[in-house]
Amino acid sequence: MGNLVFDIAHLLAGLQVLVSFLLLYQDRLGALIRVFALQAVLLALSVAWQAYAQDAPHLYVTAAIALIFKVLIIPVALDRMVVRLGIHRQVETVVSVGPTMLAGIGLVGLSLVVMLRVTAGEADALAREDLAFALSVVLLGLLMMITRRNAVSQIIGFMSLENGLILAAAGARGMPLVVEISVAFSVLIAFIVIGSFVFRIRERFDTVDVDALERFRGGRG
Amino acid sequence: MGLTGGLLIQSAQMALVLALAPLLTGVVRKAKARLQRRQGASVLQPYRDLARLFRKEAVLAENASPLFRAAPYVIFAATWVAAALVPTFATGLVFSWTADLIVITALLASARFFLALAGMDVGTSFGGIGSSREMMISSLAEPAMLMLVFTLALVARSTQLSTVAQVMLTSGVGLRVSLALALVALVMVAVAENGRIPIDNPSTHLELTMVHEAMVLEYSGPHLAMIELAGQLKLVLYLSLIGCVFVPWGLAPAGASVLALAAGVLAWAAKMAVGALLLALFETSIAKMRVFRVPDFLGAALMLGLLGTLLLFVSRSL
Amino acid sequence: MSLVGLLLAIPSAAALVLALVPDWRLAARLNVGASAASFLMVLAVVRDPPAAGPLVLIDGLNSIVLVLNGFVVFTTSLFSARYVVHEAATGRLPPLRLRLYHALYQVLAFAMTLALVTNNLGVMWVAIEIATLTTVVVVGLYRTHEAIEAAWKYFMLGSVGIALALFGTILVYVAAQPVVGEGQDGMIWSVLVGKVAAFDPGLINLAFVFLLLGYGTKVGLTPLNAWLPDAHAEGPTPVSAVLSGLLLNVALYAVLRVKMLVAAHPDALAPGPLLMAAGLASLLLAGVMLYRRRDIKRLFAYSSIEHMGLMVFAFGIGGPIANFAGLLHMAMHALTKSAIYFAVGAAAQAKGSQRLSDITGLTQSHPALGWALVAAVAAIMGMPPAGVFMSEFLLVTSTFARMPALGVALAVSLLLGFGALAGKLAGIAFGTPSPDAGPVKVAYGPIFAHLALVFVAGVWLPPAIADALRQAAAALG
Amino acid sequence: MPASAITSAASAPALQLLVAGIVALVLLAAGAVPLARKAGGSALVYGAAAAICVLVLGTALSSLGGAPASLILPPGLPELGGRLRLDALAAVGLDGDGLGGAAASPFALGFPPGCAPGGAGGGASPPGAMPATSRRRNGCCPSIPPSWPA
Amino acid sequence: MLPFYPAFLAGMMLVVLADDAFTFLFGWEFMSLASFALVVSHHGVAENVRAGLVYLMMAAFGTLALMLAFGLLAAGGEGVSLQALSFSAMRAHGPTPLAAAVVLGLALLGAGSKAGLVPLHVWLPLAHPAAPSHVSALMSGVMTKVAVYGFIRIVFDLAGPPAWWWGVPVLLVAGPTAVAGVLYALMQTDVKRVLACSTIENIGIIFVGLGLALAFEANGAPAVAALALTAALFHVVNHALFKSLLFFGAGAVLVATGEKRMGMLGGLIHAMPQTALAMLVGAAAISALPPLNGFVSEWLTFQAILLSPDLPVWGLKMLIPAVGALLALAAALAAACFVRLYGIVFLGRPRSAAASQAREADGFTRTAMASLAVLCLAAGILPGPVIDALQGAVAPLVGVRMTGQGHLAWLSIIPVAEGRSSYNGFLVFVFIALSASLAALAVHAFGSRAVRRAPAWDCGFPGDDPLAQYSAESFAQPLRRVFGRSLFAARETVTMPPPGDMAPARLSVSERDPAWAFLFAPLGRAVSALSGRANAIAHLNIRNYLALVFGALVLLLVVLALWA
């Protein structure tokens, strides 16, 4: 029975890393939002599975939050924002997709080397596996943020980074405050979306291109 | 002999130096005239000039300040004290330990300091020319002189002039390269300090070329006499300095008998005469240098002095 | 209800009340009252600290920062009361936003106090998270596009930093879990520091890297401090003072907690060199960047980066004297930098602009304000009567003795910073005065209170404070 | 380390006098701030400074030969305290200070305040033409009649 | 800027009395801060503010150098502890030879930047003239002495026994400082800048004395080291006296005429006789003329130089005579410099309206100047007691005292041995006075006493324009041609008006300070270039900053993966 638990958790975490790569691959905003929703579903499943494996009821709450918030509310809000603000659909990248994917692979390799060599000690295999994949998702999320020009794609990059964190938190057996942390992060993301919506980032600048934000630095120094 | 004897010899030296100074200048002028196939004024002419100047009234410029009137006396006093400290016919004078060779150089420097200031006091451009050039010449001549002092001090292991003369006289220093360099440097500095031909023409009236004369242009009457006498004293000082250091024979040792003193005076007089003739010969055989050639000339003197010192440092024998 | 509970209750209650009070004049006074009450409560807590519980830990280190925090929040609220009058008059802050401002001021105070007091790493993370959010909103309060752009940049960088810090916290828990068992204990700092020797060194190193980068972003270490100049310059000046003076210290306190944790582990990566590298890099970069600044508040923001770099460098070197110098510098910098911002706020309002070219000849146009600013900037530059001179003296002497190359690098960067500030100060204080934008009431009370403390500490450090600093320095290891 | 203990080999009265002198000067500096604006203020300050410097010069000269005395004062580094020591070298230094102050202070009395030095010095050579135009100078120096006799 | 004057004095006194590193540097930096405030007291003139800033930067550099030096001295024992910062602790465990050598270098930098040794002297000609005269006098006369005291305290007292080569760097810096200082003074046309640059020369002379003392003490000739150190300290006292006197004179001239530029002065001896007399004594003293004090300290330094053949080390054997030559050159040039200053300012005819309307200085100024002039003469005539007074300070530093001078006959001084050399200031003064009065008496008795005033002869030229007199630049022209061409790149440019234009031709002299041109200007350019490039970071966008964070994270992870 033990290794089944381990296998499923391992599978779900691996899938999440794969979806992160998918996120890097997308070049249209609509598809990007839907792939993110997919990653959120996988996150909810793995957290629920961890809850079942560690029979820690509070993790179910985290899974529920992830499911409702990140699969339904945020994607819909982003979709409407894209429509309302008339942001053009094309995802502008700084570096073309090929090199980004290679960089992604390098990052995953790095996190595996760092994590597995590090925890060669007595920590149990499950925690080690989860951490390695969580670190990969975090690094890939960060990579996405720095290689995309649209503010929306940056938000999604940040949210996938946050998914990695929740995966890691869930993986740590018996870690307190997981729920509070996921709630804090949800509030944070809500702030981002509402903020960019309310401040009408779109209205102040013709595109939501993060570089456009810079043009108004003007003479200040 | 005791203190009174010492005092007697010291005052005798001061009187002797003062008395013979105009005579020396007269001899030099006479020798130059004869070399230039001229009759030339008599040897005693400088005395008559001084007497004439003493009796004439002093004409002062309207702009002349009290410094202008006091300067001649200070210049004469400083030069006279310096000349009195250089052993002429006897070493080991009673006041010889009050000052050494560096102090004598500095006394001459203070004389020059006040002469330059007096030159600038009246506020004419010629006074400015004289002072400016005098200061340029002195800024090289004085270090050369001090280098000389270093060389002599290293040979005689003392800067006291009477001790240096004593060492030269007694310990048989013998011929040394550094001393030869020092002699040449001393001659060059003496020529520069006294304003003789290659550096400055004492008898010139061409304003643009003169240095010493430009500073004393405004002086007249007794003030001019004082300054002329100071110039002559300086010539005696340098010649007796060369004499007592490089040609020390005939110097009466401290506390010698009257006979030895007389011999000393004779030897000194002979040395002065020879020096005067050599100076006259040197002056007639060379033309005056352009003003901005003087730094190279004096630079050479400084290098010779420094070389002499360094050679001495290298080995005792050189 | 323990004292500490009360200490946390005051700001949170005040925040709620201030959110509801429509009249901003009353709100300003309430704000001052609440800050005064919390300061007195801090003094009470620090006098007889409660035992270290699962949630609360009061020891030598955080009592210093707590007292500093309480005092400067109180004096800043005094300055804010005076500052807000001008802002309301000129209409730059309409009443609604003033209400939000006062409420968020107290929330920020609450978050900082919570971060300092808590024993639980998770709670500390949450507290700093709340502080980040409130700062984002307050920085963007003026609604100018520079303010929004500064807020957005701060938000993005802050969030990434917080995320990294969270990952570090999780790693600490995972490392502690086999030794300490599941549940709450994995996050209690005092428990962890006792048992850290048994943890897996690799995990601890990784946790330290993430926590250093996470909280380092909040401390403003190079290459993570791009947000700091804009955030400090665009927000209202009282907030800039709190940010520069206190929030940076709180983040540094968190980094110190983590450093103590890692230093306790024998064969883990020594934290010293990492801190020294980051500190020196911040020192050098800020020292060089000061020369080209054209905005007065950005100038002093970069000066904050420089001084935070100096403190991190001091703690990186370790040893009783360097730690003592670091802690002393933390106190002196908080007091001096906030006094500078009080004076700069008034000067910017007097001249109607924050550009250095518009603020000249202050000692002639506003003598008292001008000379107060000169005294404050002289103090931050390390001039003798001020305490900063003592801490820099101790640091430079102890550094050069042990690591000559670093000592020289430290001296050169201090000289660079000194030169830049001297040049800019001469421009501000001397020369022909620039036209005034209108009368301004300057809050001299807080400025002179801070400067008096700094100048007294520079000459004679009271033994009680000196002993407290020495014990905390010893604890830092 | 007892902060205010005056422990020393022989804290001679001279050293204590000198410390009193320094403290007096610092208080004078603080007191001078309000005095600066009043008319007689600068004269008072310079006079007091001259008096203190003469006192310092006297004690320094007297302690040139004396045995070194040392003193530990509370202000200064926390553990170390401010240590002062008056040995012969310090006495020579203090002579310089005392003498300079004792000479400069009375001189400053004669020097009217606010006499800003003339235009920039440095390599500017005097103008070729005669400076016939009058140059208005600030308060302290005599104003020059417009047409100066050629 | 009244309150900063007593603070400045207090700071200087605190430095001299300090017995631990913190109090020393506290006083040192406090002294710099107070003098900076005094220098920018007339901050209306932009140039003063710039001078103040340059000064503050050099002061900060000096303080940091000294901080590093004290760090090394305190680290001698078991690592730095607060107790190790007291001087007594530093003396107890002397630093290792290498540390001591570094301490010497740092002390040279720290004290040199405050005293004005050559490469670090650039602030001195800017700051001193900018300050009011009484402050310039204090800065030149006293503050540089505090810097010399600091150097002596650190190198002689705290850094333990010197190595044989310690004298070399000090002499290598001091010799050129003396010559460069006086050459730079010769090219200035502002009275107070001339005095400030001559301070640099005198500091060079003092440090030559200190360098000799180090060389002799290290090579086993403590008696000569005592002589050299006494010469240096004697010159410290002398320079405090005559430099303050000269600055007071410059201040009196500034008050009387409102003019600092020598080209606008002249003929002040008629309007200000007492000031002129005091300045004459000051000028003579600083030019090292026999009866006055300047000559005595120079004479002692030369006596020390003459004893250098006893040194076993070849390098010093060659170096010391060369430094002696530089010292002699500096002394001669100093005489030229002060003849020029005194002649242009006080003698001749007034060159501007201001100079013609000058009035004598007030009572306080004259008493201050007269007292200093009398002290200069007294120190020159009675050097013996002064030397004995200094032995108290010299003995603990070099271990041995100079032979007592007090009991010698007729107040003469004998530095080393009876036969070697001796100097009697009193008798020289008496002789000069005696012979001068004798000559005056002779003239009055035998010569004519008649005196007639007439227009100046001037070879028959009519009364010409006061500006035709020698000016500051023209007086220094020969010396500039000889010495200033290469080092100071001194150039004279004549701008002739176009033909037919009645405008006057203009001669302008330009020179540059080599230290500024080759050391500080490039440094300034480098810093601004560096800040320009670094400034680019301020204008990046959010994505780049995130990339920086990401880069830092990846870098650390790689470090962990490879190495931890």
CA distance D56 to D35: 24
Of E6, E190, E244, the CB nearest to D25: E6
pLDDT value of residue D6 = 43
Q: Which residue has the tokens 């605190």?
A: E14
C-to-D residue pairs, Cβ atoms closer than 8 angstroms = 15
pLDDT value of residue A121 = 54
Q: Which residues of E touch A113 (CB under 8 A)?
A: 561
Beta carbons of E339 and B113 less than 8 Å apart: yes
Among the listed residues C354, C358, C343, the one whose alpha carbon sits nearest the alpha carbon of residue C444: C343
pLDDT of residue B288 exceeding 70, the answer is yes
E510 three-class SS: strand
Among the listed residues E121, E129, E126, the one whose alpha carbon sits nearest the alpha carbon of residue E53: E126
pLDDT value of residue B105 = 92
In chain E, helix, strand, coil percent, each to 5?
75, 5, 20
pLDDT value of residue E564 = 60
Tell me how close the Cα of D77 comes to any Cα of chain C, in angstroms. Answer: 7
* pLDDT > 70: percent of chain C: 100
CA distance D41 to E203: 35
pLDDT of residue A204 exceeding 70, the answer is no
Confirm if E9 and D56 have CB atoms less than 8 A apart. no
pLDDT value of residue A149 = 77
**Closest residue of chain D to C391, computed from CA coordinates:** D77
Beta carbons of E5 and D29 less than 8 Å apart: yes
pLDDT value of residue D112 = 63
pLDDT of residue C40 exceeding 90, the answer is yes
Torsion angles phi and psi, residue B302, rounded to 5: -60, -45
- What are the pLDDT digits (tens) for C109-158? 999 999 999 888 888 998 998 998 899 889 888 888 788 888 888 888 88
**Closest residue of chain C to D26, computed from CA coordinates:** C385
CA distance A87 to A102: 29
Beta carbons of A213 and E539 less than 8 Å apart: no
CB atoms within 10 A of CB E450: 12
**Sign (positive or negative) of CA dihedral D12, D14, D18, D24:** positive
Torsion angles phi and psi, residue C290, rounded to 5: -60, -30
Which residues, other chains included, contact E255 with Cβ-Cβ below 8 Å and sequence gap of 6+? D110, D111, D112, D115, D140, D141, E361, E365
Of A124, A172, A191, the CB nearest to C170: A172
Tell me how close the Cα of E437 comes to any Cα of chain D, in angstroms. Answer: 33
Among the listed residues A161, B16, A187, B295, the one whose alpha carbon sits nearest the alpha carbon of residue E482: B295
Q: Which residue has the higher pLDDT, E548 or D35?
A: E548
Q: Which residues of E touch C200 (CB under 8 A)?
A: none
CA distance E365 to E25: 33
CA distance D32 to D77: 28
Q: What is the 3-state secondary structure (H, E, C) of chain A?
A: CHHHHHHHHHHHHHHHHHHHHHHHHCCEHHHHHHHHHHHHHHHHHHHHHHHHHHCCHHHHHHHHHHHHHHHHHHHHHHHHHHHHCCCCCECCECCCHHHHHHHHHHHHHHHHHHHHHHCCCCCCHHHHHHHHHHHHHHHHHHHHHHHECEHHHHHHHHHHHHHHHHHHHHHCCCCCCHHHHHHHHHHHHHHHHHHHHHCCHHHHCCCCEHHHHHHCCCCCC
Tell me how close the Cα of D117 comes to any Cα of chain E, in angstroms. Answer: 7
Strands E451-454 and B58-61, by their bridges, are parallel
* pLDDT > 70: percent of chain A: 79
Tell me how close the Cα of A218 comes to any Cα of chain C, in angstroms. Answer: 9
- For residue D69, what is the enclosing H or E element? strand D69-73
**Closest residue of chain C to E541, computed from CA coordinates:** C153
pLDDT value of residue A199 = 59
Of C157, C289, C385, the CB nearest to E30: C385
pLDDT value of residue D103 = 87
- D and E adjacent (3 or more CB pairs under 8 angstroms): yes
For the record, the structure tokens of B272 come out as: 């002065």
Q: Which residues of D touch C463 (CB under 8 A)?
A: 3, 78
- What are the pLDDT digits (tens) for A85-114? 666 667 777 778 888 888 899 999 888 888
- C and E adjacent (3 or more CB pairs under 8 angstroms): yes
**Closest residue of chain A to E559, computed from CA coordinates:** A114
User: Is E233 near chain D, with CB under 8 Å?
Assistant: yes
What is the Cβ-side half-sphere exposure of residue A200, based on CA atoms within 13 angstroms? 7
pLDDT value of residue B74 = 93
pLDDT value of residue D147 = 42
Select the residue from B136, B171, B292 to test the E interface by mutation, using most E Cβ atoms within 10 A.
Answer: B136
Q: Which residues of B touch E297 (CB under 8 A)?
A: none
Tell me how close the Cα of A217 comes to any Cα of chain E, in angstroms. Answer: 8
Beta carbons of A110 and E547 less than 8 Å apart: no
Q: Which residues of E touch D123 (CB under 8 A)?
A: 187, 189, 508-511
pLDDT value of residue A202 = 45
Query: Mean pLDDT, chain C, as a whole number?
Result: 89
- Mean pLDDT on C189-202: 83
pTM value? Answer: 0.89
CA distance C262 to B223: 93
pLDDT value of residue C225 = 84
**Closest residue of chain A to E532, computed from CA coordinates:** A221
DSSP string, B57-124: PEEEETT--HHHHHHHHHHHHHHHHHHHHS-SSBSS-TTGGG--HHHHHHHHHHHHHHHHHHHHHT--
Of E461, E468, E478, the CB nearest to B136: E478
For the record, the structure tokens of B260 come out as: 């030895």
User: Crossing angle of helices E4-17/D13-35, nearest 10°?
Assistant: 160
pLDDT of residue B248 exceeding 90, the answer is no
Question: Does residue B174 come out as left (phi exceeding 0), alpha (psi in the -120 to 50 range) or beta?
Answer: left
- What are the pLDDT digits (tens) for C404-442? 889 999 999 999 999 999 999 998 988 888 888 878 888
Confirm if D25 and D49 have CB atoms less than 8 A apart. yes
pLDDT band (50, 70, 90) for residue D131: very low
Confirm if C166 and A165 have CB atoms less than 8 A apart. yes
- Mean pLDDT on B61-80: 91
Among the listed residues A115, A103, A102, A74, the one whose alpha carbon sits nearest the alpha carbon of residue A197: A74
* pLDDT > 90: percent of chain C: 42
User: Crossing angle of helices C24-47/C95-117, nearest 10°?
Assistant: 10
Q: Which residue has the tokens 């550009």?
A: C355
User: Is E561 near chain A, with CB under 8 Å?
Assistant: yes
Q: Which residues of E touch B222 (CB under 8 A)?
A: 443, 447-448
- Mean pLDDT on A54-78: 85
Which residues, other chains included, contact E264 with Cβ-Cβ below 8 Å and sequence gap of 6+? D118, D126, D131, E257, E351, E352, E354, E355
Question: Does residue D112 come out as left (phi exceeding 0), alpha (psi in the -120 to 50 range) or beta?
Answer: beta
- Counting as low any pLDDT under 70, the low residues of chain E are 76-80, 406-410, 418-419, 463-464, 564
CA distance B312 to E320: 13
- Mean pLDDT on B104-112: 93
**Closest residue of chain E to C221, computed from CA coordinates:** E549
- Mean pLDDT on D85-112: 85
CA distance B170 to B26: 34
User: Crossing angle of helices C320-351/C296-317, nearest 10°?
Assistant: 180
Tell me how close the Cα of E561 comes to any Cα of chain C, in angstroms. Answer: 9
Beta carbons of B60 and E344 less than 8 Å apart: no
pLDDT value of residue D149 = 47
Confirm if C349 and C86 have CB atoms less than 8 A apart. yes
Please tell me which chains touch E, using 3 or more CB pairs under 8 Å as the contact test.
Answer: A, B, C, D
pLDDT of residue B246 exceeding 90, the answer is no
pLDDT of residue C168 exceeding 60, the answer is yes
pLDDT value of residue D123 = 33
DSSP C45: H
Beta carbons of E49 and C426 less than 8 Å apart: yes
Tell me how close the Cα of E434 comes to any Cα of chain C, in angstroms. Answer: 56
Tell me how close the Cα of C5 comes to any Cα of chain E, in angstroms. Answer: 37
Q: Which residues of E touch C404 (CB under 8 A)?
A: 102
